[in-house]
Structure 1
Amino acid sequence: MTSAPPVTELFLLALILIFSVPYLVWRLCRTDHWAPLVVVQIVAGILLGPGVLGAALPGYYTLIFTPQVIGALNGIAWWAVMLFVFVAGLELDFREAWRSRRDTVVTAGLAMVMPMALGAAVAAALLRFGNPAAWMGPKGQDWQFVTGIGMACAVTALPILVLFLTKLGILRSPLGQRILRYASLDDVIIWGVLAVILLDWERMGRQAGFVIGFGAAVWAVRRLMIAIPKRDRWYCALVWLAACGFLADWSGLHYMVGAFLAGAALDASWFDLDEMDQFRDVVLLAFMPVFFLSTGLRTSWEIGGYAIFGVGLILLAAMVIGKLAGVGLAGRILGWKKGDATVIGWLLQTKALIMIIFVSVLFDKQLITSATFTALLLAALGSTMLTIPMVSSRILQMRPEE
């Protein structure tokens, strides 16, 4: 009887699968126009998870993805997603949002409220006409479930949006900067609402202490960042990130709420813009694929694939219709030129990582079931795959902005 391979070898085999499979599919099938590498990596995570590979080849799956290997991968995934969310918070530019506050508030508000309302309606229908236990987690309350699903439908994936704007060549253009402002304000509101959803009334003392302590710590860290040499800021930022994640999790919130707040508390101008772009790209390339696999491990088809796919399609429709309707209404109110609302609406509806991260938090806290998580994951994938095909031709038709 042969002994099982060492954990280190199994871990490296898992990494080979994680990094090679999506890259080969993306490169050989030339999916970049309709399915960027990020999307292919997420799909690969689902395929390598227990719902597909585990069901088809249970022997190979249990051999490679042992509890020790999954534990090691989860550690990388936690830190990867904290880094990613931290950079998303760092991207926020509150000063520019304030200078264009009417345009920003009207657009971001409508772009969030409309899909949130439609998503919340879908969630309420699942509770009213379906089996609540199949969709709502054991620790969830109706208002948490409905609000959480609604906010998930309103999310814009800010880091992926940056990548798409870069790919389309409009990141530094006036249009690109407008889109980033809208997405940034929505991100602040959405993470704030998530913190409210996650309030643990048994830990209110800890959470109040976190809020008070965070305010004092922000004042101290900002003074420190200004005082230290520029070369030391990234290192100090990582210590700050880990501390915020730990304290947020300890207080009963989620470590990702802490990660976002850690980034939002700092000024992007303190860091070199090219270095920040490179940092985000390295995290996306070297670490985030591990998070995608851990996402795939959470997928479930227990209540039937047709039901999950059906709910996923309904949620996708709520996301897209709500975002386009909200941005279209904002364009009418603000008198935008023809074509702007369509392009902005399609770009803002991309969900990808931030929505997956958002619903991962809901799943971790047992506010939603694995079936709901899977339906939302499928909707996020569909949303992201639609973005570039729907926008690229419209960008070419638009007049370059002065």
Structure 2
Amino acid sequence: MHAGMSTTEIFLIAMLLIFSVPYLIWRLFKTDYYAPLVVVQIIAGILLGPGVMGAIYPDYFAFVFNPTVIHSLNGIAWWSVMIFVMIAGIELDLKKAWEHRRESFITASLALGSPLVSGCIAAAGLLLYSGWIGPKAHTWQFVLGVGMACAVTALPILILLMEKLEVLRQPIGQRILRYASLDDVAIWGVLAIILLDWTRVGRQAAFLIGFAVATFLFRKLMIWLEEKDRWYVSLIWLAACSLAADWAGLHFMVGAFLAGAVMDAHWFNQEKMDFLRHNVLLVIMPVYFLSTGLKTNWAVGGTVVFAAAAVLLVASIIGKLAGVHIAGKILKWEKGEASIIGWLLQTKALIMIIFVNILLDKQIITSETFTALLLMAIASTMLTVPVVYPKLQRLKSLIFKTK
């Protein structure tokens, strides 16, 4: 039967698995409190990958996820995550951060810097063992890359979780978005530094100069256009920026983020933007989660990978909470406030997974390190709601407190 199936039919089997497995897990096991559907989709990607399905049913795995099908899935995955990253760039609210700059910059810098240091220390520990650093990485790139992965806050997932906790539109939720927005900019800036290629420094300089000129002209055009045209032109801009960034050696995801970051959110209807983000997550991002799962690797031993993930998780959470608590002391927050903000800001998942995918593509980390970081991201995200919800119930006044 397998021999007689066309590539199209096998591709559709893969799509059937991609959409049915996470939905059934989410609905049947009612995971929403611990893991929203998007997190379950990431977990399902791992389950359908070589480490689980590939180990249990190697022949069927090789049949369904053959090179031709994977190539087709990767194309969908790239485009979906480019759109998602562009939206994240558009929704950065740096004007609000500037209005509250002292509080925002103190909190954002400590919330990013502290877990970055603890993550770098954990990465230095991994260097004592073989199998973790990628073949094309300098030591500093590996240490900084893993450290930043521990410091990342996943802004899109943070928004989803705060909606679930009913704090997104409250003053404390808007404050947290300001902190996360500043950290998001820093994350992509550090990534650009990690990806600097001195053999192609001329291209990268040309890209930055060309991007600055093109951005000036693009913004003039977008102001002149009606909104219905802006949506379409933004996709052309996305493809152009991603192509140029990849040509320069900075990776197409850096271009996708920059494409969104130079656009103003008020150019677009917010309800339509929310609708687009929701449908990208619903319709095509599950393919990206599957392609991520296909990159997992347990070659150094499953126990070792889980141990590394646990070390990275501890470094990430302790670093984030320590940094935010220091900020709380400086800014004289009320008791319990720093804990709520710190736990929400340690949410990872999507942006962190995109970040480490880029590190893997550039061979700065190995697939074993990628797997450990992926497990860490899932665990940190699943901890958020169960930890934060009871804290919010005890300190309801903080939800409505302004700063």
| 1:177-235 deviations in Å (ceiling 9; x for gaps) | 11011001001011001001001111100100111111111111111111001111111
| 1:240-288 deviations in Å (ceiling 9; x for gaps) | 1111110000000010001111111001111111111111000111111
State the match for 1:46 in structure 2.
46
| Structure 2 residue 134 is the aligned partner of structure 1 residue 130 | no
State how far apart, in whole Å, the 2-side matches of 1:63 and 1:4 are: 12
| Structure 2 residue 250 is the aligned partner of structure 1 residue 272 | no
Letter in 2 for 1:76: I
Letter in 2 for 1:213: G
State how far apart, in whole Å, the 1-side matches of 2:228 and 2:2 are: 51
| 1:313-340 deviations in Å (ceiling 9; x for gaps) | 0000011011011011101100112222
Among candidates 179, 190, 194, match of residue 182 of structure 1:
179
| Structure 2 residue 304 is the aligned partner of structure 1 residue 316 | no
Letter in 2 for 1:60: Y
State the match for 1:225 in structure 2.
222
**Alpha-carbon shift at residue 173 of structure 1 (Å):** 1.3
State the match for 1:20 in structure 2.
20
State the match for 2:144 in structure 1.
147
**Superposed, which structure 2 residues align to 1:210-249 within 5 Å?**
210-249=207-246
Letter in 1 for 2:46: I
- The total of aligned residue pairs comes to 399
State how far apart, in whole Å, the 1-side matches of 2:246 and 2:4 are: 36
**Alpha-carbon shift at residue 33 of structure 1 (Å):** 0.6
Among candidates 368, 375, 378, match of residue 365 of structure 2:
368
State how far apart, in whole Å, the 1-side matches of 2:388 and 2:64 are: 40
State how far apart, in whole Å, the 1-side matches of 2:276 and 2:29 are: 28
Gaps of 5+ in 1: none
Letter in 1 for 2:129: G
Among candidates 148, 155, 163, match of residue 160 of structure 2:
163
State how far apart, in whole Å, the 2-side matches of 1:221 and 1:205 are: 23
**Alpha-carbon shift at residue 38 of structure 1 (Å):** 1.3
Letter in 2 for 1:367: I
State how far apart, in whole Å, the 2-side matches of 1:211 and 1:2 are: 50
State the match for 1:358 in structure 2.
355
- Greater Cα shift, 359-368 or 2-11: 2-11
| Structure 2 residue 100 is the aligned partner of structure 1 residue 103 | no
State how far apart, in whole Å, the 1-side matches of 2:262 and 2:314 are: 34
Gaps of 5+ in 2: none
Letter in 2 for 1:368: I
Moved over 4 A (4+): none
State how far apart, in whole Å, the 2-side matches of 1:26 and 1:227 are: 45
| 1:346-385 deviations in Å (ceiling 9; x for gaps) | 0100110111110000000000001100000010010000
State how far apart, in whole Å, the 1-side matches of 2:168 and 2:266 are: 17
State how far apart, in whole Å, the 2-side matches of 1:331 and 1:272 are: 35
State how far apart, in whole Å, the 1-side matches of 2:263 and 2:164 are: 26
SS in 2 for 1:27: helix
Letter in 1 for 2:5: P
Letter in 1 for 2:45: G
| Structure 2 residue 327 is the aligned partner of structure 1 residue 330 | yes
State how far apart, in whole Å, the 2-side matches of 1:297 and 1:198 are: 23
Across the aligned residues of Structure 1 and Structure 2, the Cα RMSD in angstroms comes to 1.0
State how far apart, in whole Å, the 2-side matches of 1:170 and 1:125 are: 38
State how far apart, in whole Å, the 2-side matches of 1:358 and 1:393 are: 31
| 1:127-157 deviations in Å (ceiling 9; x for gaps) | 1x322xx000100010000000111111000
| 1:97-149 deviations in Å (ceiling 9; x for gaps) | 1110001100000000110000100111121x322xx0001000100000001
**TM-score if structure 2 supplies the norm length?**
0.97
**Alpha-carbon shift at residue 3 of structure 1 (Å):** 3.0
Letter in 1 for 2:105: V
**TM-score if structure 1 supplies the norm length?**
0.98
Among candidates 328, 337, 342, match of residue 339 of structure 2:
342
**Alpha-carbon shift at residue 2 of structure 1 (Å):** 6.7
SS in 2 for 1:135: coil
Letter in 2 for 1:35: A
Letter in 2 for 1:393: P
Instruction: Determine what percentage of the aligned residue pairs are the same residue.
Output: 61
